[in-house]
Structure 1
Amino acid sequence: MASSDVSGKAFDLKLLRKILTYVRPYKAVFYGAMVLTVVLSALGTARPILIQYVIDNFVITPDSEGLLNYTLIITGLLLLESIFQFFFTYGANYLGQNIIRDLRLQLYEHILSFKLQYFDQTPIGTLVTRAVSDIETIADIFAQGILTIFGDIFKIVVMIAAMFYFFDFRLVLISLSVVPVLFYATRLFQLKIKSAFQDVRTQVSSLNAFVQEHLTGMNIVQIFNREEAEMEEFKSINEKHKAANIRSIWYFSIFLPVIEIMSAISIGLAVWFGGLKAAQEASKISLELLLYRGMGWDVAPDMTMITLGEITAVIIFINMLFRPLRQLADRFNTLQMGMVASERVFKILETNSRIEDKGDIVMDDVRGDIEFQNVKFGYKSDELILKGISFKVEAGQTLAIVGATGAGKSTIVNLLSRFYEINSGSIKVDGVDIKDMDLGSLRDHLAVVLQDVFLFSDTIMNNITLSKDIERHQVEEAAAFIGVDDFIESLPDSYDYNVRERGNMISVGQRQLLAFLRAYVSDPSVLILDEATSSIDTHSEKLIQKAIDKITEGRTSVIIAHRLATIKKADKILVMEKGEIVEEGTHSELLAMNGYYTRLYEMQFKAEEEDVT
């Protein structure tokens, strides 16, 4: 369902049915709230009728005792109505909060299952908007939308029916003659406001995406002196957001005065017609009564007439009738915002970007044999990154992959972890195609260390274990084994030190060391290092190289390397060029070929080797 599809309908009933499916676990609360709306409508309708009776029977003809009794009854009804209103408000909000909790959990679980390709194409700020503010807006559909609108409409129907039943139909008909015009204005408002609020939600999403992206990349903004340029772009987006909101406010500001004018006209008609008829009928009745008494008629004249109590009750009814009509503007405002937000949330829920996990083979024990057989892959279907590559790594071996930027090195890592699906060919681990393996089982046996290490705003301990069932003493022993315990112990609070957002409180090299420790404590069968030793200082490199030697021992390792020391120790080296394997062998074998690897070695590694010597 496209977010831009306004379609001219005030409500998308199909979308509304989807929303209401989330009510099923809370049917008792939902139906209870519906019953309360009926009760509240009955209580609200009873008051003007009782007030009419009090005026006509205990005020015009003074009766203090009757007046007191009925005043107590009306006060009791008001108190009872307030109690029921409390339960209705609490129940509606309780329902809304439970539904958005369930919906947010479903949405986040769905997002977690997406392929990385989806995140490559979707701004993170947009997803944040969907998961936070859009879902929060959906809660108002129940708290201030569907239930309240149903209650208001039911109240309107009950009050109109009561007015025609209890009062002079001519007075009621004249008083409510403006209602059709009001219903037409309400309908027109519904149609216009939906389009306006779709625009509002679009601009909110754009604003969130821009802010999130530029705050994350603030160092780039400042390094390249882009503050003024980015501010101008932000002003433009912010202006569009303001314009979208003003458009919705414009429709809203027209609708409210229309209701007020219609209400005033309705009350004016009631007073004019009711007062006129009351005066005329009073004169007629007085004359008939005089004739009745003077002429000695057997049949008394009809004493029914429009009374002061009836006119008063009709005026009260008109105010009560137009109050929900006036509030419908707010209700439709809220409901349309919620409908637009839900439309966007369901669009993500209906997005099929999951990796098809049809595999049912659970690998309890993985040796670490890896085989690529004529694998072809492209991030776009018409642009192949890997053009039919094949290689094999025996269990316990270390494979190094080298090549120019864009050769396809990191793509191999992504495919082995099944972050993307291959176009053709097969990838096998221990002779089993990874498509036939349970995805969770596959990834349980893999550990990946990336060049750009991501750490959560949490303690070092939680960043290492990622909340898995790993004891603290196991982490401390692993840190000592690979030689990173000294730097951790030197930090304030040691393993309980909070590294803040993205680990900015520690250096790049220290983040790399924590990534190695995180990989090691997971005890993987296959270790993948994606350029994990680039862009670090010499001291950190020595610590990291020592850590690499420790954690690669006895397990299959795939290393995309920029450092000569790592490459020279590899059992096999793949040289890649434009998505193809152009050479394969050990360090000495490749140098002997005097080909791609030799040229790469002379450009990138020879000076490094001479410096070490």
Structure 2
Amino acid sequence: MRQGLGVLGVAVRTEKAVFAIAVLASGVYGGMTVASAWALGWATENAVLPAFEAGDITAGALWTAVLLIMGTAVLKAIGVAGRRIFAGVVQYRMQARSRREVTKQYLRLPLAWHHRHPTGQLLSNASADAEAAWAPLAPLPMAVGVIVMLFTAAIGMLLTDPVLALVGFLIFPAIAVLNLVYQRRLSPLVTRAQQLRAEVSEIAHESFDGALVVKTLGREALETDRFRRRAYELRDANIAVGRVRGLFDPMLEAVPTLGVLIVLAVGALRLTNGAINSGELVQVAYLFTLLAFPIRALGWVLAELPRSVVGWTRVQSVLDASGSMEYGAAEPGGVRPAGVEVEDVAYAYGDSEVLHGVSFDVAAGRTVALVGPTGSGKSTLTQLLVRLIDPGAGEIRLDGVGLRELAYGAVARAAALVPQQTFLFDDTVRGNVTLGLDVPDEEVWAALRLAQADGFVARLAEGLGTRVGERGTTLSGGQRQRIALARAIVRRPRLLILDDATSSVDPQVEAKILYGLRDSAESSTTIVVAYRMATIALADEVVFLERGRVEDRGTHEELLARCEGYRNLVTAYEREEAERAAIAADAEDLNEDEAEGVSA
């Protein structure tokens, strides 16, 4: 409870003015609810009973009773409307604030942090957890405001008849014990349900994201069963929560009702003894009936506190996450294109080190091919070059300035990465190329021409305005890669990094792209991860990586002559093709010999 009240205190301090208005409106409602009891008692004593006893009622008494009851009802309605509106404003503002803070933190945290956290869990942190953290804010102003009603009603009962008031107050210890048991029973159940909600989101996202693999390998039943099992666990956890709440709410209703019965029984005895009159008994009984409502309001807040604490804790785990990147104030110097220096760089994923003391430099305007077998660290190195991640040791400099010393956004303004996995948004071709940049269509077409994509884009139904579907599903793999390349080119990067970004493009188109990039009026320093010999041969220099180290560097011809590992790697396809051709030729000769033997 202490943690939950601390969470609510954050909201109250953040939205002081709006929360104060909501509490004031709730106080008006509470005060008028108590006033209605007084009005009812006055009407009973001065209008109803005289009408029964004398068979007549004065117009003044009747209109006074009507105005009292109607006036309190109107003010109660105003209080209800104000309380609900402003309580909702506080709740939804805090939810939106948490979602914005979580999203900003996601953008600040390095890619290495995201590697350790499933996407489904991150979605849950920004949606379900942020919602749960501030769920008690809806009933909170009412609970705070009706405390006014609680104390006013208690004072009214004490002034009317202290004996009946003391009898009624016996229910409060019972309610306190009931709330304590409820909190202890509910808190672990809510924690489990909230965790399962994140796991269900995680499985659903993973299944949808891998829909192609699931369908092509016939794993629909397996994925459905995996989702079903976790969904059933979530169902059972929510049922367990609902079962505890279902037990708690009737008991919370029953205790005040039992108190009303006791008050009426004792009050009837006191009425018989002449200690109180009928109006006072009606007033006390009605006031005690009203006590059930503030108790329920407090119970609603208490019921949401465990879930709120869990949601807040999960959100705070993101906001308190360490590893956010630090930035300096420098801008990379020099003019187009940029020079790159990699000095003694190392990087590890957990305990698995993938780069060891990597060092090389790229002169401005040069094209360098990164070549190496699978797992040699090429893709990791490309992410380091654009500072998606920071090296564990060593330094990378752009135009002589370390990447950590550059201002926020400086690397993105100077360098562009086209990764292996092409991602297109469910937007138009123009939207996917510009991504919000204010770029005229002429420059978009120029970037598409350089990426060898202008031809097929021109043939699309609406040209640049054609929507490409989710992840670009209406385009082929090679077309998606060329759109992604145009997206990088249109930003005129001084350093362009292609991480096997033309693997789905035929060799002739790939050669045109690389020649075009080199001969462009606004040429970039280009680093390309490549496997094809034709692509590698276009580079000015080759850096050969093996087992996370630079084994050799030089021109393609130099490495072919002196580096056996490089030679074996880049000629593997040619050797395999030659072996296949030799096998086919031997089989053909054998068939001819057999045919000649038969004819002889």
**Distance (whole Å) between structure 2 residues aligned to residue 163 and residue 104 of structure 1:** 46
| Corresponding position: 1:110 with 2:105 | yes
Answer yes or no: is the 8 Å Cα contact 1:564–1:608 preserved in 2: no
Answer yes or no: is the 8 Å Cα contact 1:370–1:393 preserved in 2: yes
| Corresponding position: 1:171 with 2:171 | no
Distance 1:13 1:30, change over 3 A: closer
Distance 1:346 1:94, change over 3 A: same
Distance 1:143 1:12, change over 3 A: closer
Query: Once the 2 structures are TM-superposed, how far is the Cα of residue 560 of structure 1 from its aligned partner?
Result: 0.5
**Distance (whole Å) between structure 2 residues aligned to residue 587 and residue 575 of structure 1:** 10
1:81-480 aligned within 5 A: 81-144=76-139, 146-165=140-159, 167-281=160-274, 305-361=275-331, 363=333, 365=335, 367-380=337-350, 382-480=351-449
- Give the equivalent residue in structure 2 for 1:300: none
Segment of structure 1 superposing worse, 594-603 or 457-466: 594-603
| Corresponding position: 1:39 with 2:5 | no
Paired amino acid for 2:118: P
TM-score normalised by the chain length of structure 2: 0.90
Match of 2:325, SS?
coil
**Distance (whole Å) between structure 1 residues aligned to residue 20 and residue 300 of structure 2:** 23
- Give the equivalent residue in structure 1 for 2:544: 575
Q: What fraction of aligned residue pairs are identical, expressed as a percent?
A: 27
Paired amino acid for 1:131: A
Answer yes or no: is the 8 Å Cα contact 1:10–1:194 preserved in 2: no
**Distance (whole Å) between structure 2 residues aligned to residue 37 and residue 364 of structure 1:** 64
Answer yes or no: is the 8 Å Cα contact 1:388–1:580 preserved in 2: yes
Match of 2:225, SS?
helix
Give deviations 1:194-221, integer Å, cap 9, x for gaps: 3222222111111111101111111212
- Give the equivalent residue in structure 1 for 2:511: 545
**Distance (whole Å) between structure 2 residues aligned to residue 181 and residue 556 of structure 1:** 76
Distance 1:120 1:482, change over 3 A: closer
**Distance (whole Å) between structure 2 residues aligned to residue 521 and residue 96 of structure 1:** 43
Match of 1:384, SS?
strand
Distance 1:211 1:479, change over 3 A: same
Paired amino acid for 1:566: T
Match of 2:345, SS?
strand
Query: Once the 2 structures are TM-superposed, how far is the Cα of residue 68 of structure 1 from its aligned partner?
Result: 2.9
**Distance (whole Å) between structure 1 residues aligned to residue 68 and residue 486 of structure 2:** 75
Paired amino acid for 1:428: R
Match of 1:91, SS?
helix
**Distance (whole Å) between structure 1 residues aligned to residue 128 and residue 455 of structure 2:** 44
**Distance (whole Å) between structure 1 residues aligned to residue 422 and residue 21 of structure 2:** 52
Distance 1:15 1:88, change over 3 A: closer
Answer yes or no: is the 8 Å Cα contact 1:141–1:339 preserved in 2: no
Match of 1:355, SS?
coil
| Corresponding position: 1:495 with 2:464 | yes
TM-score normalised by the chain length of structure 1: 0.88
Segment of structure 1 superposing worse, 329-338 or 443-452: 329-338
Segment of structure 1 superposing worse, 515-524 or 149-158: 149-158
Query: Once the 2 structures are TM-superposed, how far is the Cα of residue 130 of structure 1 from its aligned partner?
Result: 1.5
Q: How many pairs align?
A: 571
**Distance (whole Å) between structure 2 residues aligned to residue 208 and residue 435 of structure 1:** 35
Distance 1:360 1:224, change over 3 A: same
Distance 1:178 1:435, change over 3 A: closer
Distance 1:450 1:552, change over 3 A: farther
- RMSD between aligned residues: 2.2
Give deviations 1:271-294, integer Å, cap 9, x for gaps: 21111121122xxxxxxxxxxxxx
Distance 1:57 1:142, change over 3 A: same
Paired amino acid for 1:354: S
Answer yes or no: is the 8 Å Cα contact 1:457–1:501 preserved in 2: yes
Give deviations 1:406-462, integer Å, cap 9, x for gaps: 011111111111111112222112222222122411221111112211111111111
Distance 1:537 1:441, change over 3 A: closer
Match of 2:417, SS?
strand
Answer yes or no: is the 8 Å Cα contact 1:359–1:435 preserved in 2: no
Q: Which runs of 5+ in 1 are unaligned?
A: 1-8, 282-304
Query: Once the 2 structures are TM-superposed, how far is the Cα of residue 383 of structure 1 from its aligned partner?
Result: 2.9
Q: Which runs of 5+ in 2 are unaligned?
A: 52-56, 581-600
Distance 1:364 1:275, change over 3 A: farther
Match of 1:236, SS?
helix
